[in-house]
Amino acid sequence: METDLFMLLDTNSRNILSILSIISEKNEWYTIHEISEKLNVVERTIQRYIIHLKDCIDQFNEGEEENDRLFLSYEKYKGVHLETPKGHGLHRFKQLVLEQDETFIMLRDIFFEEFQSVTKYAMEHYISESKVRKSVKKIRYYLKRYHLSLSNISFKIIGEEKQIRLLTYYVVWYGLKGHDWPFRQVSQNKVYEVIDSLDESLSMKLTRTQRKQLGYMLAINLFRMGKNHPIELEAHWQNYVDINRVMDEMPFLSLVFIKRRQELTAEIYFYMLLIQLRINVYQSKPFIKQTLEYHKLNGSDVYETTNHFVEKFHTELHPIPSEFYHSFFLTTFCTHLFCRMFRYVILTDDGCNNIREWQNKYTVLISQLHQIIDKLYIQTNNVLFLQRPFLMQKYMMLFSMIKPLTHFEPTIKVLIESDLPYLKKTLLENDIIKRYSGDYHIEFINTSDVTIDIILTNVPNVLKNKEYSNSVIHFFEYPMMLRDIEELDKVIQKIYTKNYLVET
């Protein structure tokens, strides 16, 4: 979602956040030329944005405590340096850029049905009509990605109600991160009273953040109901939620949703399913037991497809260690439940979409997961397996619980030919594996009897050894300097490309 929202922002906001993302990576100076190349923007424009960024940071610092202030230094020929103390200033500053963006504010107003016409909105917010129309166009495109649209007359969002509520939550939560209460029409105290009662009834042991998240979800449901946008009950939900038990043990939910009985029941089903979706509330053994036993008793498709996937993963992809099995099953269960409730969504729980980044890096793993999804769809004929982009991200994160994502990728075999003591050599190997674990499958070889891709050496004479003629020899000094690491990056990338082309 943060990526999605980023693309929705105005040019100024996007550029400020892009530059901030670059210069906050390391505590060092960045030249204008470096930033220009990374963003593919001319240097003069980068200079203007950095001056604007500095003004924004200076203004931000006026209202912050010393530990949360940011310090940006800019010198024309040296570049720019950002100093970030230990506080939450950097995160808070990014949030403010998002919150103050005109298009994001407009999107929130549309979700809260506070946008009636272009002319009226332009006058009330002192924005030109052309700017409002441009932002509305971007918002229409944004909504279309989730199969939602915007009315040309009332400017209300059109589409499945459950999809609208989900996207409302994404936008409001990831836009505010819970530090504000944006629901003017809904009582904050009343909502949290309900959440606390739920927590007690279900023994969920909620953290403060989880409490806020469930509070936001409930507030959105109440707001949409108040605007006469009820949830439509779906038949298969009856296999997921023991509604009679909920109504008996949690009568306070009925008092919250004061509507016609049919709408009330659908709303309670929907909210209880939203709770079931959140893997982080499965800390309560009674809650886990009640939820899974009811799904199992009713033969829910979510429970059955979860068993099918876990079995296929274990037998055809990689064995699931017993210590991971419980969390593996629950995460898969929540993933499948989400896919049965919502469609056209490729964002993970943290609001991000990683599939584009991963699809060119972990090609073998992705191919094998695609095969499992195809087999399961043929076996079960369940539509949830049609939501491949969302499933792929979740399944890959499940795999990463057990093995690195690079596990099936072409192996880069490395031999360290050095005079280093055993412990120093082992530490160096561990450091290199850790550094490249997310990108490459590195394997250290202790013999020259197999084909070696890279020879790392601090002994110059190795360069003359004929048995290493087919290997790339990389000389280094211990401890490795930044220059050595940057050169090693290039060597590994070159070897990986060669291995990948051979494999494909």
Of the candidates 439, 325, 304, the one whose C-alpha atom is nearest the C-alpha of residue 376 is 304
**Cα–Cα distance measured from residue 347 to residue 332, given in angstroms and rounded to the nearest whole number:** 15
Spell 271-285 as b/e; 16+ CB within 10 A means b: bbbbbbbbeebbebe
Cβ-Cβ contacts under 8 Å for 382 (sequence gap 6 or more): 301, 305, 376
Six token digits for residue 24:
């906050």
Q: What is the 3-state secondary structure (H, E, C) of 282-350?
A: CCCHHHHHHHHHHHHHCCCHHHHHHHHHHHHHHHHHCCCCHHHHHHHHHHHHHHHHHHHHCCCCCCCCC
Calculate helix-pair angle for 322-341, 301-312, nearest 10 degrees.
140
Q: Give pLDDT, residue 282.
A: 85
Spell 104-141 as b/e; 16+ CB within 10 A means b: bbbbbbbbbbebeebeebbeeeebeeebbeebbebbee
Cβ-Cβ contacts under 8 Å for 463 (sequence gap 6 or more): 457, 473, 475
Tell me the one-letter amino acid at 45. T
3-class SS of residue 66? helix
Domain 411-503 is found in CATH 3.10.520 = no
**Cα–Cα distance measured from residue 434 to residue 282, given in angstroms and rounded to the nearest whole number:** 31
Cβ-Cβ contacts under 8 Å for 403 (sequence gap 6 or more): 318
Tell me the mean pLDDT per 10 residues along the chain, length 504: 75 90 88 91 91 90 84 89 82 86 94 94 94 95 93 95 94 79 91 93 89 94 93 95 91 74 80 92 86 96 97 96 95 95 73 64 91 96 93 92 90 90 92 88 82 86 61 84 85 82 47
Q: Is 407 in contact with 447 (CB distance < 8 Å)?
A: no
In this structure, the number of other CB atoms found within 10 A of the CB of residue 478 comes to 14
DSSP 406: T
Cβ-Cβ contacts under 8 Å for 312 (sequence gap 6 or more): 372, 375, 376
Q: Is 204 in contact with 283 (CB distance < 8 Å)?
A: yes
Omega before 182 cis (within 30°)?
A: no
Q: Is 264 in contact with 254 (CB distance < 8 Å)?
A: yes
**Cα–Cα distance measured from residue 135 to residue 113, given in angstroms and rounded to the nearest whole number:** 16
Q: Is 111 in contact with 169 (CB distance < 8 Å)?
A: no
Q: Is 231 in contact with 195 (CB distance < 8 Å)?
A: no
Residue with the two structure tokens 């996007």: 14
CA 92 to chain centre: 19
**Cα–Cα distance measured from residue 481 to residue 461, given in angstroms and rounded to the nearest whole number:** 21
Q: Give pLDDT, residue 504.
A: 41
Question: Is there a common fold for 2-95 and 411-503?
Answer: no
Q: Give pLDDT, residue 229.
A: 94
Q: Dihedral, CA atoms, 112, 115, 121, 125, nearest 10 degrees?
A: 0
As a CATH number, domain 2-95 is 1.10.10.10
- Domain-wise residue ranges, the chain: 2-95, 102-159, 188-290, 300-402, 411-503
Calculate helix-pair angle for 129-144, 102-111, nearest 10 degrees.
60
Taking the model in full, what pTM does it have? 0.86
In this structure, the number of other CB atoms found within 10 A of the CB of residue 13 comes to 19
Q: Is 163 in contact with 111 (CB distance < 8 Å)?
A: no
